[in-house]
Structure 1
Amino acid sequence: MPEEPDDRRPEDELREMLQRFLSGEGPIDPARLAGAAGMPSDPAQLQALMAQLQAALARTEDGIDWSAAERQARAVVQRDPGSVTTAERDAVRQAVELAAMWLDEATTWGGASDVTLRSRQQWVDATLPVWQEMAEPVASSIAGALTRAMQEHAPEEAQEMLAGAERILRNVGGTMFAMQLGNVVGQLAGETIAGGDFGFPLLQDEATLLPVNLRTLAEGLEIPEDQVRIWTAVRELAHARLFHHARWLRLHVLSSVREYAEGIRIDVERLEQLAEGFDPSNPEELREALSSGALIPPKTEEQQEALARLETTIALIEGWVDCVTEAATARLPKRDAIAETVRRRRATGGPAEKAFGTLVGLEIRPRRLREAAAFWRAVTEAVGPEARDSLWDQPDLVPTAADIDDPSRAIARLQGGGELDEMDLALQALLDDAARADEQPAEGEATPAGDAEPDAAPAAEDDDQDDPDDRPER
C-alpha cells in the first residue's frame, strides 16, 4: 500500500521529537542533561523540569516564560523555608526602633524608620522581577545563539524541520535559562540577610530584613545576638534612606546594569564546538562550560567602561552606607567585629551569588568598597554630614572614581575651592559673553574715554590640557 502523505508541518515534527526526548524516549538521558545545566537531578525536581520544558513547546507566544523562574525559585525555597518565632520577630522590631533613633544622629535625612520582616519566600516574590530584568538581555542572547547554532549545523535532512521552528527553539532555551535563574534566586533567599545585601536596589527604597537568616548570621559570629540585630537594622535603614532621598539613584543603577547586560554576547563558536562534540553519556564538558561562564566571551571596551561606571556607583553607595552605619553604631561594643565579618562575607559571596555571576556575566559584589568608605569618612570629617549627604542631591554632584582616589578634590568643591568642570566652564563663558555684550555702547553712541576696546580677547586655554580624570563620569 502506498504511504499516506504526511500532513504535519516541520514545526509540528520538531515539537513531537522534543516531546519524545522530554519523555525519556531518546539517546540523551534528561537527568544527565539537567545535571549538566546545573539543575537539580532528584526525581521530583527532574519531573518538574521536564514538565516546564514540555509547557514551553506548547506556548504560542514568543519570548521567555519568566513564570518558570518563579516556580523554580519557590520549589527551591520550599525545601528549607525556615521558621521564626514571635519572640524573634519582636526582638528584631525593638532593634529597628533603636536603630532608627541612632541613625537620626548620623545623617540629616529622614525617611525609612521601619523595616518589613520577610520570609525567604516573600523575599523571592518581592525581588524576582528585578533579577529577571537584569538577566533578560543575557537570556535572550543565549536563546538566540542556541537557535542559530542548531539551524546552521543541523544535517541537511533536518533543515526543513528547523526552518519554521525558531519560536519553539527560543521558547525551550529561554525556559531552561529562566529555570536556572529561579534556581539561583531560590538559593540566594537562603543567604541574604537584608534588602541591601547585594548593593543593587532590589526593593523600592524599602528596608527589609529576613529574621530566619539574621539568626544564622548571629550564630556564626559568636557575638551577642541583640548587637547583630541592631547593627544590621541600622545598615538596612541607611541603605533605604539613601534611595529614598536620591530618588533618581535606583533608576540610574538599574539602567547601568541594563546597559552593561545588553552588550553581552554568547560565544557561538564555542557553543558550536560543544554541540558537535557533545557526548550524552558524559555531559561534564557542557557542565563546565555553563558553570564557568566560558560561553560569555571577554568584555568589549564599551562593556568595560560601562562596568567601571557601575562599579564606582555601587562602591559609593555601599561605602556611604558603611560610613553612616559606623557612625550610628558607635555605642555598640562589638561594632567593628560585626562590620569586618559582614564586609568579608560580602566580599567573598556565597555559592548562589557566584552562580548568578556566571549565569549573567555580572558580579554583584562591589569592588573598591574599603576605598569608597574611606572617602566618605574623609569627607565627613572635613565638611560634616550635611554637606557630605548633599553630594547625592543630583547625578552631576556624585563623586567619581578619581574622587575616591583623592578625596581632597570633592572636599575642595564642597568648601567652594574646587575646580570648575567642563559644564561650569561653558556656562561661565556664556555669562562672560553676555556681560561683554551689555557693556558695548549702543549704535551711534561714543565709547567713553578710558574704555577703549582691547585689540583681541585673551586666548582660551586649550581644553586638551585638562586632566581627563577631572571630568565627571556620566
Structure 2
Amino acid sequence: MNLLRSVQAVAGASDPDGAGQIDWTAVATAAKSATDPGDLDLSEAERSGYATDVRDARDRLRSLGGLDFDVPATIEIQSRHHWIDANVETFRRVMRPVEAEVSVAFPNATRMVNTGSMAFVLSFLGSHVLGQYDPLLLAEGDDADHGLYFVHPNIVAAARELDVDYPRFRRWIAFHEVTHAAEFGAAPWLSDHLESRMEDGLEMLANGRFDRDAFQDLDVAMTAVEGYAELLMDRAFDAEYADLRAKLDARRRGGGPLARVARRLLGLGMKRRQYERGAAFFEAVADRRGLAAAGTVWDRPQHLPTAAELDDPDRWLARVDP
C-alpha cells in the first residue's frame, strides 16, 4: 500500500475531457494505492480447484434447479487490484448519466471530493468482495461477455478469519457466484430489466428528483436475485454448510467500528437485508411447491414478486400459480 500516492492521486484529480465530475484514472490509482493487492501465487492444485468447483457447481445447479445456462467464458482468479480495475469501468458506466447532467458551482473541489469518495468505495469493496458475477449492466454493445471473478486473497483471508477449511469455503463461494450466472442465463430479460430501472432512477436523480418506484423495483429485483441464489446454492452444495452460512452471515453484520460505518455508508446493510428477505421468500415457495416452482420467477419479468409479495409468498403463488 502507498497511502501518500493515494492522497496525491485524489488531490491531483482533473477532467482532461471536460465532461465529468470524477477523474476515473485517479480513482483507480488512488484505490489501488490504498489497497494491498494480496498474494496471487497459486499452486497448480489451487487453480485446478477453482476450475473443478465452478464446473461442479454448474453441473449441480443445472440438475437441481432445472435451469438452462452456462458459465461465462471469462473466469478470472483475481488479486484485489485486478478486481478494482475490473470494476472501475462498471462504476463509471453507472455514474455517467449523473455526471453528464449535474452542474456544480465549484467543479475542481467537487471533482476531488467525488474522486476520493469513489476511490474509498472501490478500495473498501476490493478488500472485502469474495467473488462476483458481472452481468455488465449498462455496457455498450451486445457482444460483451459476462465475467465471473474470484478475489483469491479475500477468500483466503476470510476462510482464516472465519476459521473454516479454505478449499471447502472456496467451493461454497463458487457455488454462490455460479448461481448468479444460472439466474442471468435462465432469464435473458433480467439484465435489460435491471438496466431500465437503474437508468430511470439515475435520470431522475440527475434532474434533482427521486424516482421511488424505479428504485423500489430495482431493490425488489435484486432481492429476488440474491434470495434465489441463497436458496439454490445451499440446496445444491454437496456438503454440510450450516456453519459456513452462520459465520458468513456474522461477517456481513460485523467488523470493526470503521467497517460497520463503511457498510452503512455503502448500503451493504441493505444488501444483507436483500439476502435475508429474498431467502425467506424463496424458502417458503420451495417448501410449499418445490424448487422448480421457485425457479419460475425467471420465466418472465411479470413473475418477479412485488414488494408486498416478498413478505407474503402465498400471495405470489396465487398470482403466478407455478
**Superposition TM-score, scaled by structure 2 size:** 0.80
- The two structures, once aligned, show a CA RMSD in angstroms of 3.6
In the alignment, structure 1 residue 144 sits paired with structure 2 residue 99:
no
Cα deviations by residue, 1:115-164 (Å, 9 ceiling, x for unpaired): 432222222222222222334455567x734x1xxxxxxxxxxxxxxxxx
Q: Structure 2 regions of 5+ residues with no counterpart?
A: 140-144
2:197 aligned partner: 256
Report deviation, 1:410.
2.4
Alignment check: 8 A CA contact 1:92 1:211 kept: no
Cα deviations by residue, 1:37-77 (Å, 9 ceiling, x for unpaired): xxx99544443334x24x44xx4623334222223233234
CA distance in 1, matches of 2:272, 2:97: 21
In the alignment, structure 1 residue 332 sits paired with structure 2 residue 239:
yes
Cα deviations by residue, 1:153-188 (Å, 9 ceiling, x for unpaired): xxxxxxxxxxxxxxxx42552254124312321331
Cα deviations by residue, 1:183-219 (Å, 9 ceiling, x for unpaired): 321331111001059x996996433211221111111
Residues 202, 134 of structure 1: CA spacing in aligned structure 2 closer, same or farther, 3 A cutoff? Answer: closer
State the one-letter code of the partner of 1:369. Answer: Y
Q: Structure 1 regions of 5+ residues with no counterpart?
A: 1-39, 148-168, 268-299, 417-474
Paired residues, number: 312
**Aligned residue among 218, 228, 248 for 1:310:** 218
Alignment check: 8 A CA contact 1:124 1:185 kept: yes
2:50 aligned partner: 92
**Residue pairs, 1:289-308, within 5 angstroms:** 302-308=210-216
Report deviation, 1:318.
0.6
Cα deviations by residue, 1:90-110 (Å, 9 ceiling, x for unpaired): 332233233233223321113
In the alignment, structure 1 residue 319 sits paired with structure 2 residue 227:
yes
Identical columns (%): 24
Name the SS for the 1:332 alignment partner.
coil
Report deviation, 1:358.
3.8
**Aligned residue among 118, 122, 130 for 2:90:** 130
State the one-letter code of the partner of 1:256. Answer: R
2:142 aligned partner: none
State the one-letter code of the partner of 2:88. Answer: L
1:439 aligned partner: none
CA distance in 2, matches of 1:410, 1:395: 13
Name the SS for the 2:248 alignment partner.
helix
For the pair shown, which has the larger CA radius of gyration, 1 or 2? 1
Name the SS for the 2:239 alignment partner.
coil
**Aligned residue among 45, 61, 69 for 2:18:** 61
CA distance in 2, matches of 1:349, 1:250: 32
2:59 aligned partner: 101
Name the SS for the 1:399 alignment partner.
coil
1:243 aligned partner: 184
Name the SS for the 1:109 alignment partner.
coil
State the one-letter code of the partner of 2:54. Answer: V
**Residue pairs, 1:194-213, within 5 angstroms:** 194-196=131-133, 205-213=146-154
State the one-letter code of the partner of 2:131. Answer: A
In the alignment, structure 1 residue 397 sits paired with structure 2 residue 303:
yes
Name the SS for the 1:207 alignment partner.
strand
**Aligned residue among 47, 56, 72 for 2:8:** 47
Cα deviations by residue, 1:378-437 (Å, 9 ceiling, x for unpaired): 222333333332221221121112222221222234447xxxxxxxxxxxxxxxxxxxxx
CA distance in 2, matches of 1:308, 1:72: 33
1:190 aligned partner: 127
Alignment check: 8 A CA contact 1:99 1:234 kept: yes
CA distance in 1, matches of 2:81, 2:138: 15
CA distance in 1, matches of 2:2, 2:151: 28
